[in-house]
Structure 1
């Protein structure tokens, strides 16, 4: 079986970072989304938010051990930027729910073509409930950006006509970045591809997606670097 061309996790993070507007306030989740922070252009003055109560953070400088009380969603140590704020968690969640974040970037188990997202449970009996702040983030952020691998570990599609796992939010996802494509969720059209990994055919991308794909007028070819 031929393995379709795929982008690296870092390349997916880099492409995501390039699409964040200057001056945005964004929340970044764990997994591949965490990598997005290191590719943000400092000149854009993008402010990172952490649901544990930090507004204005960045990764550690090389050789810096950091403070164990300052961590991100992946439990990695970080540092504050000049002008940052630390607030109680109730106020942090008020920022999330109140529409004050320009975007949230998170992973998902499944995304449906109408923008539904399932990101916290597969519904299995032995699942440990762990929705965290995801539900608050997806209903409050102006953009909900999903960054993930296109296929699950068992090879099943994660982009579906309808989610089968418990939902985190309904009709909220705006953009999806995977190791195969960049896809927008467009009302009335569903999944609209605007970027595809170099060397990957449209037929192969459709075979990896359990929902019909439409294509933008201009589709970028995403190089591996």
Structure 2
């Protein structure tokens, strides 16, 4: 199981029956493929659809029905497509219960940076709909790899990249751990099987406390 699948599988477990859930670009789009069978909800995608399901087979996919990453999805019975303007309006106005977003960095205060890197003196590619989601969604779940390619922590004391949303993240999921954020406090809730709290401390810049109910991640 690769890193992206580990994160997507664990993120899917955060979704609850009856929710309206948005899946952002990148790793989050895969969560719908691992949704527990007991959970029935309405999936939303920023590019303009409510009521989509898991990835279809190659022979049944429709290139006009896609998620935020332009990957084919299944439009379920009762599902609806709409303009981007209508979709963004729903995102801003509180119709989404939970959003799973990919991130470049998150920090112990619940800030998230997921839209920009600096190249040739310029920030790009652009903030997109994530800004609307962090403003209008009740719960934000951030998904990202725990460290960058050089082994530097992406779970920061303070984000260094331009922010997408401030103080909005409630849960952080990496391939190594699951954290909650409560009242500005980062709380380690789960660790990947075989890892210790010390292992997580060694790769995490942010300061955190350990939950009294700490357990291993299940996938």
Same topology, TM > 0.5: yes
Matches within 5 A, 1:43-82: 43-82=38-77
What is the aligned partner in structure 1 of residue 142 from structure 2? Answer: 146
Matches within 5 A, 1:186-201: 186-188=182-184, 190-201=185-196
User: What secondary structure, in the 3-state scheme, does the structure 2 residue paired with 1:16 have?
Assistant: helix
User: What secondary structure, in the 3-state scheme, does the structure 1 residue paired with 2:87 have?
Assistant: helix
CA separation of 1:7 and 1:80: change in aligned 2, threshold 3 A: closer
Tell me how far apart the structure 1 counterparts of residues 149 and 24 of structure 2 sit (CA, whole Å). 20
Is the CA contact (8 Å cut-off) linking 1:109 and 1:152 kept in structure 2? no
The gaps in structure 1 that reach 5 residues or longer are 1-5
Tell me how far apart the structure 2 counterparts of residues 8 and 199 of structure 1 sit (CA, whole Å). 15
Is the CA contact (8 Å cut-off) linking 2:26 and 2:102 kept in structure 1? yes
> What is the root-mean-square deviation of aligned Cα atoms in Å?
1.8
* Worse overlay, 38-47 or 134-143: 38-47
Tell me how far apart the structure 2 counterparts of residues 165 and 82 of structure 1 sit (CA, whole Å). 41
User: What secondary structure, in the 3-state scheme, does the structure 1 residue paired with 2:61 have?
Assistant: coil
Tell me how far apart the structure 1 counterparts of residues 123 and 65 of structure 2 sit (CA, whole Å). 28
- 2:41 equivalent to 1:40: no
What is the aligned partner in structure 1 of residue 78 from structure 2? Answer: 83
Partner deviation per Cα, 1:23-55 (whole Å, 9 max, x = no partner): 111111122212211011344211110112100
Is the CA contact (8 Å cut-off) linking 2:51 and 2:76 kept in structure 1? yes
Tell me how far apart the structure 1 counterparts of residues 213 and 23 of structure 2 sit (CA, whole Å). 28
Aligned mate of 1:24, from 19, 34, 50: 19
CA separation of 1:16 and 1:105: change in aligned 2, threshold 3 A: same
Is the CA contact (8 Å cut-off) linking 2:115 and 2:124 kept in structure 1? no
Aligned mate of 1:163, from 137, 159, 169: 159
What is the aligned partner in structure 1 of residue 198 from structure 2? Answer: 203
Runs of 4+ in 1 over 4 A off after TM superposition: none
The gaps in structure 2 that reach 5 residues or longer are none
Aligned residues between the structures: 218
TM-score normalised per structure 2 = 0.93
CA separation of 1:216 and 1:82: change in aligned 2, threshold 3 A: same
